[in-house]
Structure 1
Amino acid sequence: MSTLEERKAFGSRVAELRKQRGMKQDELALAIGRTSSWLSQVERGVQPVNRLDVLRLLADGLGVSLQMLRPDVPVETPTPQPERVEHSNDLDQARLVISGHPAPEVLLADLAAGSSANLPELRAVVDRVWELTHANRFAELSAALGPLVPRLERAVRTAPAEERRELFLLLSRTYQALAAAFVRQGEPDAAWVAADRAIQAAEQSGQPLQVFASIFRLAHAFVRLRHLDQAEHAASTAVNALREHTYGSVSAGAEALSLLGSLHLVLALVHARAGNRAEARAEIGCAREVARRVAADRNDFNLEFGPTNTEIQAVSIAVDLGDAGEAIEIGQGIDASGLSVERRARLAMDMGRAYAQRRQSGEALACLLEAEAMAPELIHTHGAARNAIRELVLLGGHAADSELKALAERAEALP
C-alpha cells in the first residue's frame, strides 16, 4: 500500500468491517493493543499498514480472515503437522508459588518468638536467581523459586525486626526476577502479580529506588498484556518523579539514572507498539541522553542499562516501527559481548526480524539461529520471533531452507 488511494481504500475497508461488527474505534483499538488515534489514522488512510503481523492482528481483532481484510495477501495454507506431545511451561511451578496467600501457615501462628534468618545464604540464592533469569534458564529458575519465595515470605513475617528490611529487599528482588521471567515466557498476567508484590516488598525495604525498579517490571507486564495505557501511565509517572530527582541534582547517582533511562526505554516500546513513531523516537532520544550521563554499561537493579543496551533497544524499536534498514544499521555497530546472554540473544533475534522484513532470508535465518543457540526459550516462545520465522517459511515456499523449516518446527511456527 504505497499510494494514498490504496491506503484510503484499505482504511475504508477496516472502518466498514468494524462497523459491521458493531465495534467503536476505541473498542477495536483496545482489542488489538493499539491506540484509538492510531486506528483513526489507519481508517483515514494516513497510517500505512504493510507488515503481515499487524495485518494479522487487525484481522483477528475484526474476526475476519486476512484475505477478507486484504484480498491481495497470499493464502496461508496450513501444513499438516506431526502430533506433538504437549510440554508444561518451564515456569509452571513458579506460577503456583504466587497463587493465593504466600505464607498462610503463619497467619494463625504465634509469631512472638521470631527466629533469625540466614541472610548470607539468602543473598547468595537471590543472586543465583538473577543469574538464571539473565540466562533464560527458566526451568532451573522455577525450581529455585519453589522453596525460596515461601521461605522469604515467612521470614519477613517472623524474623527479628532488625533483619526485616533486608529480607523485604531480597523478597522484592526475587519477585522482580520472577516478573521478568514471566514476561519473557509470555505469562504477563503472572508477571503483573509478581511485579505488584515486588513493589510492596520494595517499599517495606526502605529503598525507594527498588520501588521504581519494580514499576519497570510492572510496565513490561502491561505491555505484554497489550494494556498500553496502563504501561504508559506506570512508566511516565515514575519517569516524572525520577527526572525531578535526577535533573534537580548534578550529582545524581548512577543507580537513579539507570532507572530513568530504562523507564524511557519502556515508554519508547509502548509508543512503538501503539504505532506512535514520533513519540517512540523521542523516548529513545531521552534514553540516549541518560546513557551519555551514565557513560558506562551498568547492571543496576539487573536492568543492564547503559549505552550498549540503549542501542539494542533502539534496534528493537526500529523493527517494531517497520524501519528495518535503520535497525540493521544500528545493530551492525553494536558490540554486546559485555552484556548478558539474554541481551545478546535479544539483539540477534531483532536483527533476524529486521532482515526478515527486508526479505533477506539468509541473513535473517543466520541471526535467528544465533539467537536460538544462545537462548532457545527466547526464540521458541517470543511471538514476534515466531512470526518472523513463519513469514520466512511462507516466503521460501516449497524451496524454503531445510534449516529454516527445522527452526520453524522447533518454535512451532510452521504456517
Structure 2
Amino acid sequence: MLRDLTHALLQAARDEGAEEAEAMAIRAAATGIDVRNGSLEHAERAEGVEIGLRVLISGRQASVSGADHRQDTIRTMARRAVAMARSAPVDDSLGLADTDQLATETEGDYLQQFDTSEAPDPAALEDRALRAEAAALSVDGVRTVESANASYSHRESWLAMSNGFEGGHRRSQHATSCTAISGSGPGMERDHAGEGRIWAEDMPSAEEIGQLAGERAVARSGAHRPPTGAFPIIYDERISSGLIGHLLSAVNGTAIVRGASWLRDAMDMQVLPESITVQENPHLPRMSSSRVFDAEGLPTKPRDIVRDGLLTSWTLDLATARKLGLESTASAVRGLGGPPAPGLSNIRMTEGDHSRDELIADMGRGLLVTSLIGSSINPTTGDYSRGAAGFWVENGKISYPVNECTIAGNLRDMLMRLTPANDARDWRAVRVPSLLVEGMTVAGA
C-alpha cells in the first residue's frame, strides 16, 4: 500500500510538470497508558497513514503533506505543490541525487529495528505502568508519583524518488517512564526515570524504572543553592549528551552554510582533548536511529566527526554539501511536510578510564549536575549559560542536593577542558559518559 501511494504521488507530480519529485508514505500506530494512584488515568490510541510530496522545478522546491490519500486528493496535492514551487525562490543547490550516488542496499533487516514478538495490548501496558508506580511508591521518602506511563508504537515508511530510488523502514518502540515526588510544600522535589527500546526483551523491568525514579526524587530532598564561584563541574551521564550535542549542532551543515556556528572556522582544528573521538555509526543493531540509507537515498556508513580531538567532518545533506563544494555525508533526515536537512543517527564518544565516583573524588569541590533547565547559548560565539540542579561535592564526596543555580562558560573552552568517565550506556542514541569540565562559573547563593 505505501509503495503504491508513493508511486501515485510521483506520477501525479510528473503529470503536473514537476522536473524532479520525491514521495513518502508513513503508516504508524501508537498506544499509551498513564496511571495514577493505582488506577488508569489516561489511555490513548492513534493510528493512520500519512503522505508527503516534494517537487523540484529549475532550482525551486515546495512540499505538501496530508492524511487523505484518495486519488483526487493526490492530484490536488501535486497541483498545489507544483504551483508553490514555481513561486519559490531559486536555489541552485537543490536537486535529487545522481543515480550513481544512490544506495544499492536498501534491506536493513540485520539492524533488527522491528520487534517481531507479539505487540503488548493495553492491559499489558497498564500493568507495566502500575508496576513502575508501585515500585516508586515503595521507596522510603517518596510522597507521591506524579505520573507513570507505558507505551508501544510501530511505524512503517516508504520513500520513492523520480531518480529511481525507493526503499523503506519498519520500526517499533517500547517505552516506560515514571516521575516521583518527595517532600511536601515548598520542599517538594521531583525526579524522573524512563527507558525506551526497540525490542521488549531489551527493556529494563518496570520495577527498576520506578525504583530509580523514587530514589532520585528522595536524593533531591532538602535541595538548596550552592555557593557562587569558579568550580569544576561534572555533567552526569543522564545529561552529558546535551553538552556534546552543542558540538554536534555547531558542525551541522545548515549552521555552517549560514555562518551561524562557533565552529565555522574549526575544520581540522582541535575541538576536544587529543584522546577523544566522536563517531557516528548508523549501522548499530537494535538502535532506533540506525539506517542503511538516508532521506535522499544515499548509502550510510560510519564516520568520525571528531578524531583524536580534531574536527574532521561537517554533517551534510546534498544541498548543504553543494553549497560548501563538498560531498554529502549521507546525513539527510526528513519528515512528511518539508525538505531534507542534515541530521544524525547513533553517536559514540570515547570513554575514559575512571568511574564517575572516581571523577567526583578527584574533583574535590564542585558541582555534579543531574538536570538542566532553560538555555541561553549563543550559536555564533559559543557562550553558554544554563539553569542547573544536582549535588554539591565537598572533599571528593557528595555533600547535599542543590537547585536554583546557573552554570556558565564558553563551549569552545569547556570542551577542551573535559575529562570523560567510563559510564556511558549502550542504549543511548548519543552515547556519552559523565564528563568533568574544569573552571566553569557557578552562580548560586
TM-score (structure 2 length as normaliser): 0.25
Larger RCO (CA within 8 A; separation ≥ 6):
2
TM-score (structure 1 length as normaliser) = 0.27
Is the radius of gyration larger for structure 1 or structure 2?
Answer: 2
Higher strand proportion, which one? 2
